[in-house]
Amino acid sequence: MISTNDFRTGLTIELEGEVYTVIDFQHVKPGKGAAFVRSKLKNVKTGGTVEKTFRAGEKVNRAHIDKREMQYLYRAGEQFTFMDTENYEQISFSEEQLGEAVKFLKENMMISVVLHNGTTIGIELPNFVELTVVKTDPGVKGDTVSGATKRAVLETGAEVQVPLFVEEGDVIKIDTRSGEYIERI
């Protein structure tokens, strides 16, 4: 059990039979009445977020999750296969289970598989990935209003907005949390 006064970003808790990660929290002490903790929680399985208010000092169960480094091997239809590099055990996830992470998965990429009580509940991608641009329109000279962007398709099929100077064949760095272009490599 952990007190809501000890909340911090990244903490995992169990609430109503589900596992949540604390994204944001705020301790509030109103002029009248008891203090409370306003929090924003992300469901680890579904990726959905929920806002919940707790009384200050209220106890919640702490979720003990494990993370194992695994390598993404291949996609077979709707199944994505990963391998534990220590014992060569393979597990598969459906496209629905992986959600938005599918857009940034590249073969042989190392990722973290998240486990709770021995069962897999999802994956965590590295914060940044380097991917090749396979399709984009050429930037037109004189089309350089500050901050101008164009659509680019990456080798994984993801579509992102990139600056006009990025061309097909360029390797770019993408933030997997927001899906935004960071820099050209």
164-184 pLDDT, tens digit each: 888 999 999 999 888 899 999
Q: Are residues 143 and 103 in the same domain?
A: no
pLDDT above 70 coverage of the chain, percent: 96
Q: Distance between CA 177 and CA 23 in Å, rounded?
A: 13
Assign residue 139 the CATH number of its domain. 2.40.50.140
**How many domains are contained in the chain?**
3
Residues in contact with 85: Cβ distance below 8 Å, sequence separation at least 6, in sequence order: 69, 70, 71, 110
What is the band of 145 on the pLDDT scale with cuts at 50, 70, 90? Answer: low
- Kindly state the average pLDDT of the residues 16-22: 87
Q: Are residues 100 and 70 in the same domain?
A: yes
**Could you tell me if 120 and 132 lie in one domain?**
no
Q: Is the pTM of this model over 0.95?
A: no
Q: CATH number for the domain including 23?
A: 2.30.30.30
Band (54; pLDDT cuts 50, 70, 90): very high
Please say if the pLDDT value at position 138 is more than 70: yes
| Structural domain for 149, as ranges | 128-184
Q: Are residues 51 and 22 in the same domain?
A: yes
Distance CA 163, CA 137 (A): 11
